[in-house]
Structure 1
Amino acid sequence: MHELDLDIISPEKKVYSGKVKSVTIPGTKGNFQVLFNHAPLISTFELGIIKVGLPGDSTRIFTTSGGSAEILDNKVLLLSDTIEAVENIDLERALKSKVRAEERLTNKSGSIDFDRARASLAKAMNRIKAVEKYSTLKKDIPI
């Protein structure tokens, strides 16, 4: 079987390591998929969802704030400051984070860092979207 070796690493830990059939990564100009015998590549990736196709037709889903990817000789290395498996996302916490970020953005106080608030909102929305689309936790999620 044609498989890739995938390592996903954050500053805190190795998030995933194993054999996979494919990896779909949120590139700067759209998603790109890595399959067996992919051309060598070093690239950055954006905030979004990483889909990992596992042997046996199952899939793992991760949210990321962005990072860098190295593809060489059927090995894929993804480095990201923040990356989380969808099954580990605390939906309640993500929803609260979304509300806090929205409140900061509507507050016109001069002490608010709007770029940071926008980034927090984008990360929260990405986590909520991942749970809504891929998790068994999904119910009626107020977005």
Structure 2
Amino acid sequence: MAEKLFLEVVTPQEAIVSEEVEIVVAPGSEGEFGALRGHTTFLTSLKLGTLRYKDANGKERLLFINGGFAEVLPNKVTILAESAERRKNIDITRAQKAKERAEERLAAKTADLDFSRAEAALRRAIDRIKIAGTMK
């Protein structure tokens, strides 16, 4: 049996994941990256997106990551995220409402619209919905 990689996903509020895994795939700021045990050491910023990993039993797990940093070591990956949610904890109704609000703000094009903020809210909502499995 191959040696595992230890994954920790931590937010300012709580530890989300702390377990041995086979592989981690994360949304790096310069593009998606994957890490297996023995990977070379590096540090990178993360963008909003999906963190995927296979647990010790080979089952794929998904998390929504809202930015942060990743430290990759040969035997450990640490994700320090601004926020993170496991797939099972995503409130679909709340995410759908957030998507609708963001779309309405962007469509209204009012003078006081903070476009980048509204666009980021829309991206967060869409990613959360995709991870939850209700949108293709």
Which secondary structure state, in structure 2, belongs to the residue aligned with residue 21 of structure 1?
strand
Q: Out of 99-108 and 26-35, give the one that drifted further.
A: 26-35
The Cα shift of 1:29 comes to 3.4
Could you tell me which residue of structure 2 aligns to residue 12 of structure 1?
A: 13
Amino acid in the other structure paired with 1:109: T
For the residue of structure 2 that corresponds to 1:100, the secondary structure is helix
| TM-score (normalizing by structure 1) | 0.88
What is the CA RMSD across the aligned residues, in angstroms?
1.4
With the length of structure 2 as denominator, give the TM-score of the two structures.
Answer: 0.93
Per-residue Cα deviation, 1:95-128 (whole angstroms, up to 9, x for no partner) = 1000000101111222221111111000001111
Question: For residues 32-43 of structure 1, what are the structure 2 equivalents within 5 Å?
Answer: 32-43=33-44
Matches within 5 A, 1:56-135: 56-132=57-133
Deviations along 1:15-70, whole A, 9 cap, x unmatched? 11011111001122332110010000101121110011111211211011221100
Identity %: 36
Would you say 1:3 and 2:4 are equivalent positions? yes
Give the corresponding residue for 2:56: 55
Q: Which amino acid aligns with 2:115?
A: F
Aligned residues: 135
Q: 1:64, 1:72 → 2: CA distance?
A: 20
Is the 2:7–2:76 contact (alpha carbons within 8 Å) kept by the matching residues of 1? yes
**Unaligned stretches of 5+ in structure 1?**
133-137
The DSSP-based 3-state class of the residue aligned with 1:116 is helix
**Structure 1 residue identity aligned to 2:37:** F
Secondary structure of the corresponding residue to residue 128 of structure 2: helix
Deviations 1:53-95 (A, max 9, x none): 1112112110112211001231110011111101100111101
Which one-letter code corresponds to 1:59 in the other structure? Answer: E
Runs of 4+ in 1 over 3 A off after TM superposition: none
